Structure formats: C-alpha cells, structure tokens
C-alpha cells in the first residue's frame, strides 16, 4: 500500500504475496465462495426446520400463509431479480472500464434493494397490526384455529428477517463499492470488490428465490 | 469495447461475456419462471408432495440460472462450483436425514411398540419419587 517508491513498476492493486493479478483474483474469489457456502448452511438450518414443522403442522401452515400477500411477495421477487441483473451489469461494466455505467448500475441496485425493504416494512407493519407475530407474541385470540400458526410466523420472521439483514448488509457493501467507483478505484485490471459484492448480492437473491415459494405459495 | 492489447493480456481471465446481452436473456427467463411458479401454485397437481416438488423444482431452475450466469460459475474455475455444490450437498444430507427421522420416529417410540407396556410398569415409577442427589434444584 505505502512503499511504492522501492521499484517504480509496482502495481498498487497487486499485493506482493501474489505472483500474478489473476492468482490474486482467484484467491479472493475462492474465499468469497467459501463464505457463501457457509451462508447456504446458515439459511439451510432454517429451511430444514421449516420443512420439519411444515410436515408436522400442515393445516396450520396453509392457514397461516393466507395472511401473507402473494402479490407483494411476487413483486419483491421481481424487484430482487432485476437488482441482480443491474448488479451483474455493473460487474460487466467494471470489467469493460465503463465507469459511468458501473455507477448507474450500482445506484439502480441500491434503489431496488430500497424498494424491497420498503415492501417488507409494509408487510411487517401489517402483520404487527394483526397480531401475526412469532411464538408467544402471536395473537391466539384473534386467530385461534388451527393451532400452531405461531410456529409458522416464528419461521417467517426469522427467515425473512435474517434475509432482510443480508439485504441491509448488501446495501452497505454496494455503497462502499459505489464510493470506490466514484473515486475511480476500479478498472478492467482490478475490480475484485465489485465482483465479490456482486456474488454476495446474487446469493441473497438466490435465497429469496427459495423463500418466496416456500413462504408465500403453499397449498 | 476496445481494449488495448496490453490490458487484454491480463484481462482475459475473468470476463465470461464479451457482451451484456446474455444477462438480459437470463433475466427474462427468471421473470417468466417467477410467473410460472405463481400460476403453478394455483393448480393442485394431485398431492402436497408433488406440489412442493414442482415449486422447489422451478426455484432450483431459477437458482441454477443465477449461479451459472449471474454468478459466472459456468465460466469460472471449477473449484468455485465445487465449493458451492458442497454447500448444497451438505444441506441436502441434513434435510434428508431430518426428514427420514420425522417419517419413522413414530414407528420407534416406546409407546408405539407392542411389547412396551408389558415389561416396565412397576420398575419405572419408584425412581421418580426417590430423592435425587444430582444437582437439580
């Protein structure tokens, strides 16, 4: 980072313990994929628990999911898919030295993430109002039958909540990349942060692809 | 579009697509599949299991498209795909063993075994009344 004066050929974006820039990029990418694998397993535990409880209380699951608005879930799915598209366009723009396009794509991705969270806030507020809350906070007087709907909402809030936190984290990471892009830190030879944040963002989208049918489309 | 030749030498590693257009095709496919899954959710295909399998099947096709194209796994070094697959493989194992446990647990409970009530009726209650020396308060 600091001692570039030793030899003038030194590239500030290539750390000295890597032989080539390609090796550095591949190493970063493997690290990111390892992290993403742990994320799959983090959500995996919730998915498995959800599956077990669904097969234990199928009537409660069907009844509880009628409280979710399918149209809002579908709208959020589309918003996230579009945000994944703008993100991958951003990565492509970075690889082609298109700085303005990268900045526009990142802003659009942030905008989609904001819309997603806005819809999610609307949904949460509605559920809070109706007493459709997790576990002991569930209003059993208003929704007595069938029993165990509170377990559905425990999973609903845990899974969408954890996913929402990932969206927030992703927004932070995208903002960081956006600042870097505005400062002109990335070019076709070095855009690893854009690429890795993109991978993270696509994983968040990928998890929602499973959450949507599981939570909103039960029969 | 036009890279200079020096940049191109180091450049060639990571860029799967020379054009952004394939991404638009993938997005269109993902949006169509989203509509398909919403429509499919309104149809009863016979049993709950079949319905869930169809919904998760469509989700898996979508997830695969995202992983292969948006996440560049199709063009990447295979090691990254191996890591991603390992994550899903172990999740599958986790799910499989939990589900078989759920399906067969009732068959193995002592209360559902035919011989169970015959043997221990007198033997079980006394220890419950005896004072415990164990550190339970």
Determine what percent of chain A is predicted with pLDDT higher than 90: 65
Q: Does A206 touch chain B (CB under 8 A)?
A: yes
- Calculate how close chain A gets to B73, using CA atoms only, in Å: 10
**Residues in chain A closer than 8 A to B76 (CB atoms):** 29
Res A130: pLDDT:
83
Among A residues 94-123, those touching chain B with beta carbons less than 8 Å apart: 95-97
Query: Is residue A138 domain-resident?
Result: yes
Say yes or no: B87 and B63 in one domain. no
Q: Among B14, B43, B101, which would you mutate to test the A interface (most chain A Cβ atoms within 10 Å of its Cβ)?
A: B14
Q: What share of chain A is helix, strand, coil (3-state, %, to 5)?
A: 75, 0, 25
Tokens at residue B105, please?
A: 């647990």
| B53 and B41 co-located in one domain | yes
Q: Is residue B128 part of a domain?
A: no
Residue A22 lies in a domain: no
What pLDDT sits at residue B127?
A: 52
ipTM over 0.85? The verdict is yes
Residues 6 or more apart whose Cβ sits within 8 Å of residue A143 = A67, A131, A132, A149
Q: Do B104 and B67 share a structural domain?
A: no
B104 and B72 belong to one structural domain: no
What is the number of structural domains in chain B?
2
Query: How many CB pairs (< 8 A) connect A and B?
Result: 139
Q: How much is the CA Rg of chain B, to the nearest whole Å?
A: 28
Do the domain assignments include residue A94? Answer: yes
Same-domain pairing of B21 and B69: yes
Residues B51 and B85 in one domain: no
> Which residues, in sequence order, are CB contacts of A19 under 8 Å at separation 6+?
none
- Is residue A115 assigned to a domain? yes
- Domain CATH number, residue A43: 1.20.120.80
Q: How far is B55 from chain A (nearest CA, A)?
A: 6
Each residue's pLDDT tens digit, A1-51? 444 444 556 677 888 888 888 888 999 999 999 999 999 999 999 999 999
Q: Are A109 and A90 in contact (CB under 8 A)?
A: yes
To the nearest whole Å, the CA of B110 is away from the closest chain A CA by 20
**A16 domain-assigned:** no
> Which of A81, A192, A202, A205 to mutate to probe the B interface, most B CBs <10 Å?
A81
Please indicate if any CB of chain B lies within 8 Å of the CB of A74.
yes
* Terminal Cα-to-Cα distance of chain B (whole angstroms): 75
Residue A8 belongs to some domain of the structure: no
d(CA A159, CA A165): 10
Interface test with A, best of B10, B21, B35, B102 (most A CBs within 10 A): B10
Q: Chain A: residue nearest B54 by CA? A: A213
Q: Which domain holds residue A85?
A: 39-216
Establish if A25 belongs to a structural domain.
no
B30 and B62 co-located in one domain = yes
Note whether B53 and B21 are same-domain residues.
yes
How many angstroms separate the CA of residue A213 from the nearest CA in chain B?
Answer: 6
Contact B98, A51 (CB under 8 A): yes
Kindly give the parts of chain A with pLDDT less than 50.
1-6
Question: How many domains does chain A fold into?
Answer: 1
Q: Point out the residue among B56, B70, B91 whose CB comes nearest to the CB of A40.
A: B91
Shared domain for B24 and B72, answered yes or no, is: yes
Contact between A33 and B51 using a beta-carbon 8 Å cutoff: no
User: Is B10 within a domain?
Assistant: no
Evaluated on CA atoms A191, A208, A46, B63, the torsion sign reads negative
B93: containing domain? 77-110
What distance in Å separates the CA atoms of residue B55 and residue A215, rounded to the nearest whole number?
11
User: Contacts from B119-126 at CB under 8 Å and sequence distance 24+?
Assistant: none
Of A45, A88, A219, the CB nearest to B51: A219
Encoded tokens for A148? 């165990």
Closest residue by Cα to residue A113 from A211, A202, A213, A210? A202
Distances (CA, A) of A20 to A6, A10, A25, A110, A188: 19, 12, 9, 33, 15
**A155 with A50: CB under 8 angstroms?**
yes
Listed residue (B94, B96, B36, B95) closest to B65, CA to CA: B36
Confidence at residue B6, expressed as pLDDT on a 0 to 100 scale: 39
Q: What is the pLDDT along chain B (137 residues), one digit of tens a residue?
A: 344 433 433 444 444 557 889 999 999 999 999 999 999 988 888 887 888 889 999 999 999 999 999 999 998 899 999 999 999 999 999 999 988 888 777 777 666 665 555 555 555 555 554 455 445 44
CB-based contact A163:A208 (threshold 8 Å): yes
Contact A194, A29 (CB under 8 A): no
Residue A33 lies in a domain: no
The single-letter DSSP state of residue B112 is G
pTM of the model: 0.83
Give the bridge partners for A190, in sequence order.
A187
Is residue B115 a part of any domain in this protein?
A: no
- State how far residue A30 is from chain B, nearest Cα, in angstroms: 6
Question: Residue A144: its pLDDT value, please?
Answer: 77
User: Which chain A positions have a beta carbon within 8 Å of B13's beta carbon?
Assistant: 22, 25-26
Q: What is the pLDDT of residue B109?
A: 67
Q: What is the per-residue pLDDT for A5?
A: 46
Burial class (CB in 10 A: 0-12, 13-18, 19+), A91: buried
């Amino acid at each position: 980072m600091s001692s570039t004066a030793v030899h003038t050929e030194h590239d500030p974006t290539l750390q000295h313990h890597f032989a080539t820039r390609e090796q550095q990029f591949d190493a970063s990418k493997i690290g990111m994929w390892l992290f993403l694998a742990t994320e799959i397993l983090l959500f995996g535990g919730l998915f498995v628990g959800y599956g077990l409880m669904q097969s234990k209380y199928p009537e409660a699951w069907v009844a509880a999911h009628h409280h979710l608005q399918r149209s809002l879930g579908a709208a959020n799915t589309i918003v996230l898919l579009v945000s994944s598209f703008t993100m991958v366009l951003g990565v492509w723009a970075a690889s082609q030295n298109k700085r303005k396009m990268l900045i526009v794509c990142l802003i659009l991705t942030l905008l989609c993430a904001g819309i997603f969270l806005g819809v999610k806030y609307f949904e949460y507020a509605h559920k809070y109002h109706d007493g459709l809350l997790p576990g002991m906070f569930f209003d059993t007087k208003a929704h007595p039958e069938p029993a165990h709907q509170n377990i559905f909402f425990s999973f609903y809030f845990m899974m969408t909540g954890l996913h929402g936190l990932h969206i927030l984290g992703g927004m932070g990471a995208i903002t960081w990349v956006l600042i870097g892009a505005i400062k002109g830190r990335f070019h076709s030879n070095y855009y690893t942060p854009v690429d890795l944040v993109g991978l993270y963002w696509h994983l968040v989208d990928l998890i929602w692809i499973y959450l949507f049918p599981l939570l909103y489309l039960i029969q | 579009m036009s890279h200079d030749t020096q940049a191109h030498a180091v450049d060639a590693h990571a860029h799967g697509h020379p054009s952004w257009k394939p991404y638009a095709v993938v997005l269109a496919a993902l949006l169509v599949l989203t509509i398909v899954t919403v429509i499919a959710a309104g149809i009863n295909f016979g049993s709950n299991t079949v319905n869930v399998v169809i919904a998760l099947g469509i989700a898996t096709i979508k997830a695969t498209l995202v992983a292969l194209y948006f996440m560049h796994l199709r063009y990447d070094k295979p090691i990254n795909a191996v890591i991603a697959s390992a994550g899903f493989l172990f999740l599958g194992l986790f799910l499989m063993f939990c589900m078989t446990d759920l399906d067969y647990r009732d068959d193995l409970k002592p209360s559902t075994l035919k011989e169970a009530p015959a043997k221990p009726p007198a033997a079980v209650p006394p220890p419950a009344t005896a004072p415990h020396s164990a550190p339970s308060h």
